[in-house]
Amino acid sequence: MRVEPGASRDEFHVSGRGVLHLSVLIENMSREGHELAVSKPKVIYRELDGKKTEPIEMCVIEVPTIHIGPVMELMGNRRAICNKMDTRGDQSHLEFTVPSRGLIGVRNRLMTATQGTLVMHHNFYEYEYFRGTIPHRLNGVMCASQPGQVTAYALDSLADRGTMFVAPGQQVYEGQIVGEHCRSGDIGVNVCRGKKLTNIRAASAAKTVVLKAPREIVLEFALEFIEDDELAEVTPGAIRLRKRHLTETARKRAARGRGKAGG
């Protein structure tokens, strides 16, 4: 593992062997009482004969034969090449060469697509020429539009917008990611909104709010989920996701700056 100073005295660039290697370091720092924010992991590219090359992994997957279709689709979208496929009874053995950047975030999707029946391991294979772009996360996120305490009333009204990461009673701050949007694009939501009190009795006044359990944020999921404009905030007591720029105005300004730079 290699640690280099960043742009400021509080920023460091840490190079390691995959997401798991980095997560072990972050977990140890958290247990020792440190608080830190982590950006999305990126692979290290190299130049060969004037062309960009990237690290390639040899990925081996054991999966029930009925789930081969989703596995091939997910791996194919991440520029993987299937070199070997063997079927033994109701189990299939697949071997891929896939860019290291394509493996970031794919494990959770594969486990979901195969109903948790997949066994997967991978090792570094070699550097090859850049294989092309890989699709980013399809769904956007829901960001807290104001700080405060999460209410069950607000979460109930947002239940059809996507999957929540917070539960009633938790404290949130502006710019914190509180859920995954069911569609593309980020939206700001008020998860602290309370029910207005009136002097009128209604039949639905005693209605009990039943909420789905929020998705648990663990370190490996956080590192795989975040995008380039997001951070994983790791503390000894909790792991949160947040936008790099907390206010909506700052995010719009940053987006305009990226657009001018790209143009």
Q: How far apart are CA 151 and CA 192, in angstroms?
A: 5
Hey, which bits of the chain come out as E strands?
Answer: 2-5, 12-15, 36-38, 46-48, 51-64, 81-88, 91-99, 119-129, 141-144, 148-149, 162-164, 171-172, 176-181, 187-189, 230-234, 239-243
pLDDT band at 206 (very low <50, low <70, confident <90, very high): very low
Q: Mean pLDDT score of the chain, rounded to an integer?
A: 88
At residue 177's C-alpha, the angle toward residues 171 and 181, to 5°, is 125
pLDDT of residue 53: 95
81-88 vs 91-99, strand pairing mode:
antiparallel
What length does the chain have?
A: 263
Task: Give the CA distances from residue 41 to residues 22, 216, 230, 232, in Å, rounded to whole numbers and listed in that order.
Answer: 9, 20, 11, 11
Task: Let me know: does 45 contact 52? Beta carbons within 8 Å.
Answer: yes
Interval 193-204: pLDDT, tens: 888 777 666 555
What tens digit of pLDDT does each residue of 228-263 get? 899 999 999 899 999 999 988 888 888 887 766 655
pLDDT at res. 96: 96
Query: 56-60, 80-84, 104-108, 161-165: which range is least confident on average?
Result: 104-108
Domains of the chain, start order: 46-129 (3.30.70.240), 137-197+205-262 (2.40.50.250)
The answer for residues whose C-beta is within 8 angstroms of residue 150's C-beta and 6 or more apart is: 166, 167, 168, 169, 170, 171, 172, 178, 191, 192
pLDDT tens profile 35-83:
999 998 889 999 988 899 999 999 999 999 999 999 999 999 999 999 9
Q: Which of 220, 145, 206, 130 is nearest to 179 (CA)?
A: 145
Distance between CA 234 and CA 36 in Å, rounded?
5
- pLDDT, average across residues 167-176: 94
